[in-house]
């Protein structure tokens, strides 16, 4: 977590002028309360200066070419692999998650994202021929070019403070952009670690810059002269950013969280599915946009399923993430704990049963919350409507597949979902009916680790995609280049219209698109004279 050591600012709306006097933020270990470091906040003047430097540096960076930038990524990958221990340790200290999760859900994800870009960036972004299907335009050579936007701003969250920004930064850089990263004020140190690693790998200083700060720093970045913005965070902030960006048609990618449903069908393996629900709801203390935040179980399995989940939740070891035995670390801040408490209290007051957890673990510290299993929840409860972002697994039942799909789609969010069944065809059929950017059959969350797969949602879960070729294509403008192969010939469709030309063009359309061969032959005769007609 972070706190301001000396700061005042007013920031009524994203679109208003900023009054900015924030001086420093402190990065604090959420498990121990230890101050890990203090940093100066970047104000509007610093943001504008950084963007200006990036714009100058980007020109030469782009001129290096994709192959040279790929070599730097390969070097970065090697450095990160060598230093995986210290990077994972830093993540755990600053974000609280168990060390092994820092390795697997952060460091490994970045290593594999680098692998994907090393293997595929050139083939995806290289100049490509574009064939023309229209016979009238065959005397042209078409090419597709992928050009960097220029300077891309990235505002990243605290829950995955290394893997989320790193995958986006690498895609932007390899495409030839300069990048300004504004990390969460709760986890700025690991962003600076990323900056250090990339610079050691060969990325020029002004091509990738990290600007620590709170909300006003991010707002200043949105209002600056960047060419595109990638934001991961809350729906409320995402909407404000979209409004500000719309004023000057700034392109944006918005990943705005989720309320991901898990559907357990009547033929699912109860032991496997319950273990998946527990891990999917409680990994990173439930602070993941892909967490299982709603669990729907067929009524035939409901009673044993909720008991299995409660039993497994009670066995989870909660503590400091640096302890190898720890499975659930602290939450990022007391503020986030209070959100979780309010959701649990609301559900309890409306009739939900608390089968495990439901309270803070104050003996461990103010940010620890017990893994909580709620049964008999419904959609009147906040825990089933709003993003909880904490270690809570709410479970309810359904009667048939149609009801399960209806319940899954009854949400403003649409990031990801999962279906659990022994029948793959049945699971995939249901997956096609669920409104989400990703649906997994018999797995949860691991989609984020699949570098080839796009990550992003529908509805209030955001716009655009990261990861894979789709995430890479978000970092470039597409340009079409067309060269005519007969430059000394006037085109048939140029001026010099008249009645005969109209008839000739009607015949030409028949020649191109009529199906009977006899009609095509007649049309060829009618339209041929257009080639030699007199043109202006």
- The set of catalytic residues is 255, 289
The continuous run of DSSP H or E covering 495 comes out as none
Beta strands in 307-382 (DSSP E): 353-356, 372-375
The first and second tokens of residue 53, run together, are 């430097």
What DSSP string runs through 21-44?
---EEEEE-TTT--EEEEEEPP-H
Dig out the tokens for 231 from the structure: 């934001």
DSSP 8-state code for residue 425? H
Q: Tell me how crowded residue 467 is: count the other CB atoms within 10 A of its CB.
A: 24
Residue with tokens 């191109």: 512
Output the CA angle 75-183-451, nearest 5 degrees.
50
| 203 in Cβ contact with 507 (< 8 Å) | no
Locate 483 and state its tokens: 């060269």
If one counts every other C-beta atom within 10 angstroms of the C-beta of residue 532, the result is: 8
For residues 254 and 15, give the distance between their C-alpha atoms in angstroms, rounded to a whole number: 18
Q: In whole angstroms, how far apart are CA 127 and each of 66, 112, 145, 285, 484? A: 11, 25, 5, 45, 18
Phi-psi region of 290 (alpha: psi -120 to 50; beta: other; left: phi over 0): alpha
What sign has the CA pseudo-torsion 119, 125, 129, 133?
Answer: positive
Residue closest to 38 by CA, chosen among 85, 86, 6? 6
Of 373, 364, 162, the C-alpha closest to 280 is: 373
Cβ–Cβ under 8 Å, residues 61 and 207: yes
């Amino acid at each position: 977590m972070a706190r301001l050591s000396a700061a005042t600012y007013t920031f009524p709306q994203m679109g208003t002028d900023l009054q900015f006097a924030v001086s420093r933020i402190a990065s604090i270990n959420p498990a121990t309360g230890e101050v890990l470091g203090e940093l100066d906040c970047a104000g509007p003047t610093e943001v504008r200066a950084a963007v200006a430097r990036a714009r100058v540096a980007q020109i030469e960076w782009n001129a290096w070419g994709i192959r040279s930038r790929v070599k730097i990524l390969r070097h970065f990958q090697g450095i990160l692999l060598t230093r995986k221990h210290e990077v994972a340790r830093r993540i755990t200290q600053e974000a609280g998650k168990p060390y092994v999760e820092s390795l697997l859900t952060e460091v490994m994800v970045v290593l594999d994202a680098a692998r994907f870009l090393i293997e595929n960036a050139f083939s995806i972004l290289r100049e490509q021929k574009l064939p023309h299907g229209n016979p009238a335009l065959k005397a042209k050579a078409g090419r597709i070019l992928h050009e960097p936007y220029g300077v891309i701003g990235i505002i990243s969250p605290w829950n995955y403070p290394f893997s989320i920004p790193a995958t986006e930064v690498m895609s932007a850089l390899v495409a030839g952009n300069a990048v300004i990263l504004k990390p969460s004020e709760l986890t700025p140190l690991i962003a600076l670690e990323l900056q250090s690693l990339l610079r050691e790998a060969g990325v020029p200083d002004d091509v990738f810059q990290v600007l620590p700060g709170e909300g006003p720093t991010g707002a200043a970045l949105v209002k600056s002269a960047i060419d595109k913005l990638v934001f991961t965070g809350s729906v409320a902030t995402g909407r404000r950013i979209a409004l500000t960006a719309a004023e000057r048609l700034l392109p944006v990618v918005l990943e705005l969280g989720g309320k991901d449903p898990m559907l357990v069908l009547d033929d699912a393996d109860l032991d496997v599915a319950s273990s998946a629900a527990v891990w999917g709801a409680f990994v990173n203390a439930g602070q993941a946009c892909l967490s299982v935040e709603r669990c729907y179980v067929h009524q035939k399995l409901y009673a044993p399923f909720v008991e299995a989940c409660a039993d497994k939740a009670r066995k989870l070891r909660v503590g400091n993430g640096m302890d190898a035995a720890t499975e659930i670390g602290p939450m990022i801040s007391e503020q986030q704990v209070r959100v979780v408490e309010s959701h649990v209290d609301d559900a309890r007051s409306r009739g939900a049963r608390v089968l495990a957890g439901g309270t803070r673990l104050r003996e461990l510290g103010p940010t620890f919350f017990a893994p909580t299993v709620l049964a008999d929840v419904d959609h009147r409860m906040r825990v089933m409507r709003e993003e909880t972002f904490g270690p809570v697994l709410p479970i309810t039942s359904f009667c048939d597949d149609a009801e399960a799909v209806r319940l899954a789609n009854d949400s403003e969010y649409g990031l990801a979902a999962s279906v659990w069944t022994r029948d793959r065809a049945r699971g995939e059929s249901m997956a096609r009916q669920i409104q989400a950017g990703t649906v997994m059959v018999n797995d949860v969350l691991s989609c984020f680790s699949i570098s080839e797969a796009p990550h992003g949602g529908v509805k209030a879960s955001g716009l655009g995609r990261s990861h894979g070729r789709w995430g890479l294509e978000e970092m470039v403008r597409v340009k079409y280049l067309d060269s005519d192969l007969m430059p000394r010939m006037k085109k048939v469709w140029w001026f010099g219209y008249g009645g005969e030309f109209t008839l000739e063009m009607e015949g030409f359309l028949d020649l191109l698109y009529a199906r009977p061969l006899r009609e095509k032959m007649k049309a060829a005769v009618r339209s041929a004279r257009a080639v030699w007609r007199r043109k202006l």
